Amino acid sequence: MDKREHFLLHLYDELWRSIDRVEGGLWRFIGLYVSIIGIHWFASKGEIDKSLAAYLTILASFWGINIAINAGKWFERNRMMIINIEKQFLKIDDLGKIMPASYHKRNPRKLFTLLDRIHILVFSAAIVFSVWFYWSHLWSTSATIVFTLLVIIGGIVGTGYHWYLAVKELTEFIEGTKKVDES
């Protein structure tokens, strides 16, 4: 095995480890998130302010959505790099025998895997639940109304921009990796 082949095989292994690390980070965050949701129990007992419980849940939910966006981007990026490495070693007729031919399509399947989409839906539902459940506390004064709107609008704008950048980065990556097929 020459140096290039050794490098590519090592890179191949590292890309899979990177996917595992990013996905594991999302699961670790979910563990933290469950403890944040536990704050609602303390709020129901009157031990902490209900608005604080809502704000923490809303902020953590937007954080979780952004972690899922990042995990989806890294998964697709690494998947495309893995495909390009496999093309260096596999023959064209190996597609369909060793791995499904659909796996080697260049376009990202969408930015998110099914699991990432489920995470985003759960985090979004937690935002809606927090606003609905603590409505009377979040909308009690002018200051809490303004702060609540700033938190929600800031979260939506920031998350939307992060999603836009992730899609843009993947699109540029796809265009850049098309050269692999031409060489």
pLDDT digits (tens, 9 = 90+) for 129-169: 888 988 888 888 999 999 999 999 999 999 999 999 998 88
DSSP 40-103: HHHHHTTSS-HHHHHHHHHHHHHHHHHHHHHHHHHHHHHHHHHHHHHHHHS-GGGBTTTB-GGG
- List CB contacts of 55: < 8 A, sequence separation 6 or more: 147, 148, 151
Write down the pLDDT at residue 22.
Answer: 75
**Among residues of the chain, what percentage have pLDDT more than 90?**
19
The band of 116, judged by pLDDT with boundaries at 50, 70 and 90, is: confident
The whole-angstrom separation of Cα 120 and Cα 107 is 22
Please write the tens of the pLDDT for every residue from 47-69: 888 888 889 999 999 998 998 88
Positive/negative CA dihedral, 132, 137, 139, 144 = negative
Q: Could you tell me which residue, 99 or 106, shows the higher pLDDT?
A: 99
pTM of the predicted structure, to 2 decimals: 0.78
90's tokens: 């596999």
| Integer Cα distance of 95 and 182 in angstroms | 18
33 is written with which tokens?
């998130």
Q: Is the pLDDT of residue 111 over 70?
A: no
> Are 62 and 127 in contact, with CB atoms under 8 Å apart?
yes
* pLDDT at residue 162, rounded to an integer: 94
